[in-house]
Amino acid sequence: VLGWRPPMRTNAALEISRGATGDPGPWKAITGIEPRGLPTALAANPATVQDRWFAGLYFIKPAIFTVLPFFWIMTGIISLTTGWQSGVQLLIGTAVSALAAPLVIAGALADLVIGLLIALRKTARVGLWGAIGVCVFYALAGTLLRPDLWNEPLGPLMKILPIVLLHFVALAILEER
C-alpha cells in the first residue's frame, strides 16, 4: 500500500507454513553435514542485541509510518477546520498579528504536504526531513513569538522534541535492504 512492503510477504508466509521438506540423505552423503533442527540451530547462534533491536523495530515500523502521516495530515485538517480560530488566536498579539490567518493556512498546508510525503514510500525520506525542518521552524518561531508556550501544562512546544526524535527513528529504519 502506497509503496510500502508488508513485514511478511506472501511467499515467505507460504514457505513458513509449508516447512522444510525433502530427504536429507543425499545432502548428508555429499557434504557430510548433519542438518540440525530449528531449536538446535537457534541455540547454537543466540540472538544478539542487534537482532533483538531489529526484531522489535521491524514490526513497529508500520505503526510509525502510519502514525506520522496521520499526525501531519490531521494537524493540517484541524488547523483549517475546528482548530482554525485557536491557531489564529495564538498569533494575535504577536509581531505577526496582521498575518495570522495566512500563516495558519500556510502551516496547515505544510503539514498536509508533509503527511502526504511521508505516507508515500518513494517520498518518505523527503517528507521526514521536511517534518524535522518544519518542527525546528515551529520551535524557533514559537520561542520568538510565544515563549510562554514552553511553560504551558500541555506542553505544545515541549512536544516538538519527542516528535523530532521519532522522525529521526523513522529515518534510521526507513531502508528495507
Q: Domain coordinates of the chain in residue numbers?
A: 10-172
- Does 7 score more than 70 pLDDT? no
How does residue 3 score in pLDDT terms, banded at 50, 70 and 90?
low
Instruction: Give the number of other Cβ atoms within 10 Å of residue 32's Cβ.
Output: 7
Contacts of 34 (CB under 8 A, 6+ apart): 28
pLDDT in tens, 84-101: 999 999 999 899 999 999
pLDDT in tens, 161-173: 999 999 999 999 9
pLDDT in tens, 101-135: 999 999 999 999 999 999 999 999 999 999 999 99
11/7 Cα distance (integer angstroms)? 12
* 58: phi then psi, degrees, rounded to nearest 5: -60, -40
Look at residue 132 in the predicted model and tell me its pLDDT: 98
- Does 160 score more than 90 pLDDT? yes
Helix, strand, coil percentages, rounded to 5, for the chain:
75, 0, 25
Q: How close are the terminal C-alpha atoms of the chain, in Å? A: 18
83/160 Cα distance (integer angstroms)? 18
Q: Where are the beta strands (DSSP E) in 2-159?
A: none
- Does 8 score more than 90 pLDDT? no
86 to 9, 109, 118: CA distances (angstroms): 45, 16, 26
The type of residue at 38 is L
Predicted structure pTM score: 0.80
The more confidently predicted of residues 15 and 168 is: 168
Question: Which region holds residue 8: left if phi is over 0, alpha if psi is between -120 and 50, else beta?
Answer: beta
Task: At 45, list the grid cell.
Answer: 547462534
